[in-house]
Amino acid sequence: MTDVIEFSKEVADIGGKPRRISILGATGSIGCSTIKLIEEKPSDFDVAFLTAYSNVEALAEQAIKLSAELAVIGDESKLGELEALLAGSNVEAAAGESALIDAASEPVDWTMSAIVGAAGLAPTLASIKSGNTVALANKESLVCAGDLVLDQVRKSGATLLPVDSEHNAIFQVFEGEQQSTVERIILTASGGPFHGKSRDFMEKVTPDQALAHPNWDMGAKISIDSATMMNKGLELIEAYFLFPVEKNQIDIIVHPQSIIHSMVEYRDGSVLAQMGAPDMRTPISYTLGWPHRHPFKADRLNLAEIGSLSFFDPDEDLFPALRLAREALQAGGSAPAILNAANEIAVEAFLKNRIGFLEIATIVDKVLQVADIRELSNLDEVIEVDQRARDNALELLSSV
């Protein structure tokens, strides 16, 4: 149970000056949505730095367009290319993991943490250490190292704002002053592209079919996680770390239309839900403006046109990733980090056509079964556990 999210509405007063912001993972789906919002009112923001891993052209283009102070590319071999693309602009170039951490450590008014996977953990922690306000899309940080991240938030006084649409929805309707009146959090799940399909069907699906999410346009890894429902499992763990509830107070319901983004049930039977069109710019905009609501011209809901909303219990037999994530949350310690690392390797193997869709969860299950679950007390231990789980998953892959 966490006590780090403060539901107070105190505004960080920066005297009407433009806010100095940064984006970790600027070239991805969340990064690009964030940039679209910034471009709606560029005079409100000064961009300190943007980062990417290998997409050097997109990074340079974004940095020049937003007059960023610095562009950081994770892949060191691309530094020369980045420097050439930025020549003649005022944007500085840097490359490599340590440059990424140095940039993330820079004090800013607001950071978007949108690197995909466990690779986002160290930069996110660095930004938190500097006491920044961190809009957190990189759920894997909390999954791998929830206790460490929250500990760092408490020590530095940083603010975490949930970007994931479900957690952002809960954040909007969670009555923080009355925590004890909350009975449960209900995370909604779209069910992904294979909701209602049979095991036989799923056995043969291709990466292209699994990437085609019916409601959301997202990066490849989270799209596959949505198809296996591992994404909902990761979100279950994320919700546990973000909100002051016990492990057994978080439920999941499948809601294929993705109109209700999640709900909080109170002890008088009231259920507060946040609704909206499925567009990640809405939760990102909420974190950019927090604690105020910025105007944003998202598609408005036309409920009469939608007609009806449907709900189903999740099927943990067809989508075992959900059960694996719940078990990892219950086991605690290093189990969620192991779950995440094995999943990252298995998803990558599926995307490269090395394994079938159903084998993703099988590999995660096997890695967890042989894992030695222990407490993690620092970043080095998380990295070590993460690496061992990746090695175990890769070994299983080599025997497939």
Compute, in degrees rounded to 10, the torsion defined by CA atoms 318, 320, 321, 324.
Answer: 160
Encoded one letter per residue, x for contact with ligand NDP by CB under 6 A and - for no contact, window 355-394 reads ----------------------------------------
Residue with tokens 């439920």: 251
Structure tokens at 281: 């710019």
CA nearest to 132, candidates 114, 113, 107: 107
Distance CA(213)–CA(278), nearest Å, equals 12
Total residues at interface with ligand NDP (CB under 6 A)? 28
Which C-beta is closer to ligand NDP: that of 55 or that of 127? 55
Q: Which is nearer to ligand NDP, 140 or 348 (CB)?
A: 140
Q: Is 339 in the site for ligand NDP (CB under 6 A)?
A: no
- CB closer to ligand NDP out of 28 and 193: 28
Does position 138 interact with ligand NDP (CB under 6 A)? The reply is: yes
| Alpha carbon 224 to chain centroid, angstroms | 14
Candidates 366, 188, 387, 391; CA nearest to 271 is 188
Q: Is residue 188 a contact point for ligand NDP (CB under 6 A)? A: no
Segment contacting ligand NDP (CB under 6 A): 5-13, 137-145, 189-197, 336-344? 137-145
Among 46, 74, 40, 77, residue whose Cα is nearest residue 59? 74
Q: Which of 160, 245, 280, 367 binds ligand NDP (CB under 6 A)?
A: 280
Residue 65 CB, nearest approach to ligand NDP (Å) = 16
Residue with tokens 């989270």: 222
Query: Would you say 30 or 134 has its CB closer to ligand NDP?
Result: 30
Q: What is the DSSP letter of 6?
A: -
> β-strands 70-73, 92-95: how paired?
parallel
CB nearest ligand NDP: which residue?
Answer: 28
Q: Which stretch binds ligand NDP (CB under 6 A): 115-123, 202-210, 248-256, 261-269?
A: 115-123
55 binds ligand NDP, rule: CB under 6 A: yes
Burial call 374-383: b when 16+ CB within 10 Å, e when fewer: eebeebebbb
> Is 342 in contact with 233 (CB distance < 8 Å)?
no
Residue 137 makes contact with ligand NDP by CB under 6 A: yes
280 or 385: CB nearest ligand NDP = 280
The contact mask relative to ligand NDP for 62-101 (x = CB under 6 A, - = no) is ------------x---------------------------
Max Cα separation, the chain?
63
Q: How far is the CB of 261 from ligand NDP (least distance, A)?
A: 11
> Which of 18/96 has CB closer to ligand NDP?
96
In terms of CB distance, is 128 or 218 closer to ligand NDP? Answer: 218
**Which residues are within 8 A (CB) of 255 and not within 5 positions of it... i.e. 6 or more apart?**
188, 189, 190, 191, 309, 310, 311, 312
Place of tokens 């085609």: 212
- The alpha carbon of 153 is separated from its chain's Cα centroid by a whole number of angstroms, namely 17
The verdict on 53 binding ligand NDP (CB under 6 A) reads yes
Handedness of CA 378, 170, 115, 26 (dihedral sign): negative
Element (H, E) at 182: strand 182-189
Full DSSP string of 122-147? HHHHHHHHTT-EEEE--HHHHHHHHH
The reply on whether position 114 binds ligand NDP by CB under 6 A is: yes
Q: Using the rule CB under 6 A, give the single segment among 50-58, 193-201, 341-349, 392-400 that binds ligand NDP.
A: 50-58
Identify which range of 213-221, 249-257, 326-334, 369-377 contacts ligand NDP by CB under 6 A. 213-221
Say whether residue 52 binds ligand NDP (CB under 6 A).
yes
73 or 367: whose CB is closer to ligand NDP? 73
Binding mask 221-250 for ligand NDP (x = CB under 6 A): xx----------------------------
Q: Which helix (H) or strand (E) holds 251?
A: strand 250-254
Binding status of residue 140 toward ligand NDP by CB under 6 A: yes
Choices 86-94, 136-144, 271-279, 329-337 (CB under 6 A): range interacting with ligand NDP:
136-144
b/e per residue 239-273 (b: at least 16 CB within 10 A): bbbbbbbeeebbebbbbbbbbbbbbbbbeeeeebb
Show contacts with ligand NDP in window 4-43 (CB under 6 A). 25-31
The strand pair at 182-189 and 260-266 is best described as antiparallel
Sites of contact with ligand NDP (CB under 6 A): 25-31, 52-55, 74, 114-116, 119, 137-140, 164, 216, 218-222, 280
